[in-house]
Amino acid sequence: MDIVLLEDVKSLGKKGQIVKVNDGYARNFILPKKLGVEATAKNLNDLKLKKANEERVAAQQLAQAKELAKAIGKLSVTIPMKAGEGGRAFGSVSGKEIGKAITDQLNMDIDKKKFQLSEPIKTFGTHEVSIKLHKDVVAKLTVKVVEA
């Protein structure tokens, strides 16, 4: 029986491949676990349409992420922070505070997990923070840390 694999199957093949397997193996393992479908003309056509739709959606998401990155690159947020002795920053600014500032000041909702901070910001001044919007798109946001 010819099967189109919907997922990678160890020792059989990769996703999208058409493989020939024994009928029993297909009926008892591949089909019930939804690892593949029978390679009929209808199923092959459906898979092509599904793949084309997924590619179209992925292209739209990439375009939206690029557009958002361009908009974010022009923006900045200001975060007030308490000053300790000698004018030094008291505490630090993490991704959570940056996310809250973006929500409050820019009315945008960006998940704090998308911020790429190697370490929290501990000094006053202007800092550039990377935001990973898509696997191929990284935006740069200007964060101004000022004395409260």
49-87 pLDDT, tens digit each: 989 999 999 999 999 999 999 999 999 999 998 888 777
pTM: 0.69
Q: Please report which confidence band the pLDDT of residue 89 belongs to, taking 50, 70 and 90 as the band edges.
A: confident
Q: Which tokens in the block code for residue 143? A: 């964060």
The confidence score (pLDDT) of residue 11 equals 87
> Which residues in the chain are classed under CATH 3.40.5.10?
2-61
The confidence score (pLDDT) of residue 49 equals 93
Q: Which tokens in the block code for residue 148? A: 């409260």
- The CATH superfamily label for domain 66-147 reads Ribosomal protein L9, C-terminal domain (3.10.430.100)
d(CA 114, CA 130): 8
- The CATH superfamily label for domain 2-61 reads Ribosomal protein L9, N-terminal domain (3.40.5.10)
Q: In Å, what is the CA distance from 122 to each residue of 68, 76, 113?
A: 27, 18, 19
> Which residues in the chain are classed under CATH 3.10.430.100?
66-147
Q: Please report which confidence band the pLDDT of residue 123 belongs to, taking 50, 70 and 90 as the band edges.
A: confident
